[in-house]
């Protein structure tokens, strides 16, 4: 029966080509605009580390002076070196990592590649296991390397291909700012988006290709990147010094369950109280512990204009649906005589309703195909914008499927009222008017 209704729908389209084209184009415009903005919102608001985001937490303390204290205000998003190293030593989390961005001049032994500047990440040993970083060769360094300021490094696949032609480079050496480091691991392509663990060095770009122990980077006085906030009454000669009143280090922990998260937050409050008693902290305990998605929401990683565009596109789709309802009503009611004859020949109201819904759904499929092309064009336009997330604007398989589901659901929803009106047509009245 469905095949018969599809045949009737195609015949109807051929008889009313202009009206059908108007419905398809109207629906396609709404679908195209909606899927363009919805895709951008999807890639920006997605979970960067699914399956683990509810167990990873960003840590905040409040070491700033009492003079600028505002009750309930948000503490700085980063930690001082003193606090980060103290939390790392205490080890109250399942895994934990302190980190910051950096950069330096890279060169490799026996390589024809000229020295070049590369972005880096200074962190601690748990970083790789905590963030599920995939390895091609070797592994990360150990806590002993952190403590001993080991001259070791982990490099990314792209850097390994550039310097060593993709071969297993574990055990070989590279020089960073003139210092020789031994490669202990090569990671596969890995770039969570957004880069939740450090939103200060590029939320959707800024891929890092070399990782080394934080203690090693400090010992070698390597350059850092990212924001820094220094406070206090006196000048700060070296913001990276262990006792410097400057926040510049990101700190993340892995906690297995809500009970452990509550215990760790209590530990942070207790640590703050201890530091206040020692004279380092002046403010009351003011700590934050946010999961990955809570942290991204707090930092408003999805730009406000993207949210606004999404609502405007949904509103535009609604307007297109209202127009489609009007066009379908006009089309079905113009066929009142045909529907009356069908009813007189034995078709039930249900048969008429289903036929109209199938015809509406067929319009939706055609509108979805055209809307998909419009969405692709819209996403191409987004990729031309000078924003850090522009390159991410691509339809994935889930969004591709959603395009057709949305088109089909929207067209069927638009066809409900016209279908209901058409099945109310009285066959006797229509036959008398013929």
pLDDT in tens, 81-97: 999 999 999 999 999 99
Tens-place pLDDT, residues 270-322: 999 999 999 999 999 999 999 999 999 998 887 777 888 888 888 888 888 88
The number of helices, as runs of H, and strands, as runs of E, in the chain is: 14, 13
Give CA angle at 220 (218, 221), nearest 5°.
60
Distance CA 104, CA 399 (A): 39
Strand 152-156 and strand 173-176: the pairing is unpaired
Residue 238 pLDDT grade (very low, low, confident, very high; cuts 50, 70, 90):
confident
Phi then psi for residue 337, to 5 deg, are -65, -45
pLDDT at 343 over 90: no
Average pLDDT value for residue range 164-177? 92
The H-assigned helical ranges of 335-348 are: 336-344
The predicted pLDDT at position 341 comes to 55
- φ, ψ for residue 265, nearest 5 deg: -65, -40
**Does the pLDDT of residue 432 top 60, yes or no?**
no
Q: Would strands 179-187 and 79-80 be described as parallel, antiparallel, or unpaired?
A: unpaired
What does the domain layout of the chain look like in residue ranges?
Answer: 2-47+303-433, 62-286
What is the pTM for the complete model shown?
0.79
- Dist CA 271 CA 63 (whole Å): 11
Residue pair 84/215 in contact (Cβ under 8 Å)? The answer is no
Whether 257 has a pLDDT exceeding 90, the answer reads yes
* CA distances from residue 161 to 118, 120, 185, 283 in whole angstroms, order as listed: 14, 17, 13, 50
Indicate whether 381 pLDDT > 70.
yes
CA 368 from centre of chain: 25
pLDDT band (50, 70, 90) for residue 375: confident
Average pLDDT taken over every residue of the chain: 84
Question: Is the pLDDT confidence value at 334 over 80?
Answer: no
Angstrom distance (rounded) from CA 26 to CA 245: 60
Residues 409-425, mean pLDDT to the nearest whole number: 73
pLDDT at 295: 94
**pLDDT class of 430 with cuts at 50, 70, 90:** very low
Whole-angstrom distance between the N-terminal and C-terminal Cα of the chain? 28
For CA atoms 202, 204, 209, 211, the dihedral sign is positive
pLDDT at 387: 72
Q: 118 and 159 in contact (C-beta within 8 Å)?
A: yes
What is the per-residue pLDDT for 427? 53
Residue 326's pLDDT is 80
* pLDDT score for 100: 94
| pLDDT category of residue 233 using cuts at 50, 70 and 90 | low
206-237 as b/e: b if 16+ CB within 10 A: bebbbbbbbbbbbebebebbbebeeeeeeeee
Looking at the predicted structure, is the pLDDT value of residue 345 above 90? no
Whether residue 55 is predicted with pLDDT greater than 90 in this model: the reply is: yes
Q: What is the pLDDT of residues 191-202, one digit of tens each?
A: 888 889 998 877
Q: Report residue 233 as tokens.
A: 């009454």
- DSSP-derived pairing of the beta strands 152-156 and 179-187: parallel
Q: How far apart, in whole angstroms, are the C-alpha atoms of residue 253 and residue 258?
A: 13
| Residue 230 vs residue 387, higher pLDDT | 230
Higher model confidence: residue 381 or residue 94?
Answer: 94
- pLDDT value at position 344? 58
Q: Which of 33-42, 164-173, 329-338, 372-381 has the lowest mean pLDDT?
A: 329-338
**Percentages of the chain per state (helix, strand, coil), in multiples of 5:** 50, 15, 35
Which of the given ranges, 24-33, 163-172, 203-212, 319-328, has the highest pLDDT on average? Answer: 163-172
Q: What is the pLDDT of residue 261?
A: 96
pLDDT range class, residue 431, cuts 50, 70, 90: very low
Q: Which residue from 206, 216, 210, 153 is spatially nearest to 182, judged by alpha carbons?
A: 153
Whole-angstrom Cα distance, residue 154 to residue 213?
Answer: 9
Q: pLDDT tens-digit profile of 60-86?
A: 999 999 888 888 889 999 999 999 999
pLDDT at 357: 76
Of 317 and 394, which is predicted with more confidence?
Answer: 317
In this structure, which long-range contacts are made by residues 396-404, counting pairs with CB atoms below 8 Å and at least 24 apart in sequence? Answer: 398/42, 399/35, 399/38, 399/39, 399/42, 400/372, 402/35, 402/38, 403/31, 403/35, 403/368, 403/371, 403/372, 403/375, 404/365, 404/368, 404/372
Q: What is the pLDDT of residue 89?
A: 95
């Amino acid at each position: 029966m469905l095949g018969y209704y599809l045949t009737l729908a195609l015949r109807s389209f051929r008889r009313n080509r202009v009206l059908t084209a108007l419905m398809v184009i109207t629906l396609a415009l709404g679908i195209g605009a909606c899927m363009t903005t919805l895709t951008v919102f999807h890639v920006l608001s997605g979970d960067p580390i699914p399956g683990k985001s509810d167990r990873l937490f960003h840590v905040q303390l409040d070491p700033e002076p009492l003079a600028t204290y505002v009750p309930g205000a948000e503490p700085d998003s980063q930690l001082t070196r003193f606090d980060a190293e103290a939390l790392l030593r205490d080890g109250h989390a399942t895994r934990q990592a302190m980190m910051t961005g950096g950069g330096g001049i890279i060169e490799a032994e026996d390589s024809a590649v000229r020295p070049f500047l590369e972005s880096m990440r200074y962190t601690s040993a748990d970083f790789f296991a905590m963030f599920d970083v995939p390895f091609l060769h070797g592994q990360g360094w150990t806590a002993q390397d952190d403590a001993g300021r080991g001259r070791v490094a982990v490099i990314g696949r792209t850097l390994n291909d550039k310097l060593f032609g993709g071969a297993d480079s574990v055990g070989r050496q590279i020089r960073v700012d003139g210092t020789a480091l031994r490669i202990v691991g090569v990671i596969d392509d890995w770039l969570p988006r957004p880069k939740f663990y450090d939103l200060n060095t590029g939320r959707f770009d800024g891929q890092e290709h070399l990782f080394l122990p934080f203690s090693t980077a400090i010992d070698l006085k390597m350059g850092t990147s990212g924001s820094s906030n220094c406070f206090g009454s006196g000048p700060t000669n070296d913001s990276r010094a262990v006792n410097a009143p400057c926040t510049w280090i990101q700190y993340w922990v892995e906690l297995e369950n809500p009970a452990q998260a509550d215990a760790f937050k209590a530990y942070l409050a207790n640590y703050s109280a201890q530091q206040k008693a020692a004279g380092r902290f002046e403010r009351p305990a003011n700590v934050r512990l946010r999961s990955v998605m809570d942290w991204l929401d707090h930092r408003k990683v999805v730009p406000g204009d993207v949210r606004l565009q999404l609502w405007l596109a949904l509103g535009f789709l609604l307007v297109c649906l209202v127009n489609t309802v009007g066009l379908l009503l006009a089309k079905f009611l113009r066929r009142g005589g045909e529907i009356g004859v069908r009813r007189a020949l034995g078709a039930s109201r249900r048969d008429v309703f289903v036929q109209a819904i199938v015809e509406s759904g067929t319009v939706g499929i055609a509108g979805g195909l055209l809307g998909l092309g419009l969405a692709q064009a819209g996403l191409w336009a987004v990729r031309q914008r000078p924003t850090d997330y522009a390159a991410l604007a691509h339809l994935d398989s889930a969004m591709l499927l959603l395009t057709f589901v949305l088109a089909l659901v929207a067209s069927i929803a638009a066809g409900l009222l016209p279908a209901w009106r058409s099945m109310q047509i009285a066959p006797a009245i229509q036959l008398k008017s013929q």
